[in-house]
Amino acid sequence: MPFLELTVSCTEAGQPRYERALESVGALAVTLADAHADAPDEQAIFEPGVGQTPMWGELVLTALFEGGTPEALLLHALAAADEGIDWSQAQFREVADQDWERAWMDQYEPLKFGERTWIVPWNHDLPDDADAPEAAVVRLDPGLAFGSGTHPTTALCLQWFDTLATQGALDDASVLDFGCGSGILALAALKLGANRAIGVDNDPQALTATVDNAERNEVGDRLAVYLPQDEPAATYPVVVANILASALVALADTLAARVAPGGRIALSGILAGQEDEVLARYADMFEQLQVEQLDDWIRISGVRRR
């Protein structure tokens, strides 16, 4: 069955009102996109910092309605839902029905990071190299995951974990994954030899996805998840934080306090050009700071000063 798609532009400030109005008249789904995604100076948003919901200044909202919904009647209902919104620029088109999740899963291929680490979707057979005793394989459902390893920031962290495992630094270690999303990093650490992992995220759905993925990967008994306000105070030999640069700067003292003396940290989610501010913020607390870049993204790693 086809759907009716409505597209309208709005500002960041007006977005909540538009979305409420669309949902009140029966929108099946509402998605947001950058109105200037093709501009060379577009604002990149990867993953919210803890307690943050970053948004573009100007957005395009796309809403899906049941096929056959009369456009004029829908506009009338939207105008009645919020008389302060101008819907005259809304555009409509008919879109074919399809299994969107299955379409994404069919395009998602196994990925290898470093020497041993593999991220493989559940619907895909293990590659020969991943079907080996030394391979560290994380199986994910792309339909549930917030992070799948395809983004450079996640890839940089997976490569870092793989290197730590080669050095023996993960053996029987406890790992903190701050901003865990799907839990992909915590799961990779456990598969690579860590004894226990803690996942922290401000989104309850992320915590649910992390627990689900841990159970599917048979490591649920070695992973615990918390909202930031519930996280127990503790120190860890290995900490990873894959969030935004602004959040890394704001949370520097908090993150540093989680790393045991001589412990290691990886900071990711940093756009090229933002690394100097992050380096300056962490320099007094960490040594051996190193910068690694993949595409337009940066990972900073270091060792906690004793």
* Known binding residues for S-adenosyl-L-methionine: 154, 179, 201, 242
Q: Could you tell me the two tokens for 43? A: 């604002």
- What percentage of the chain's residues is helix, strand, coil (to nearest 5)? 30, 30, 40
Burial of 268 (0-12, 13-18, 19+ CB in 10 A): buried
Three-state helix/strand/coil letters over 282-298: HCCCEEEEEEEEECCEE
CA gap 59, 112 in Å, rounded: 35
Residue list, annotated binding site:
154, 179, 201, 242
Running DSSP on this structure, what letter comes out for residue 220? G
Q: Could you tell me the two tokens for 1? A: 């069955």
Interstrand relation of 136-140 and 117-121 (parallel, antiparallel or unpaired):
parallel
CA gap 196, 231 in Å, rounded: 15
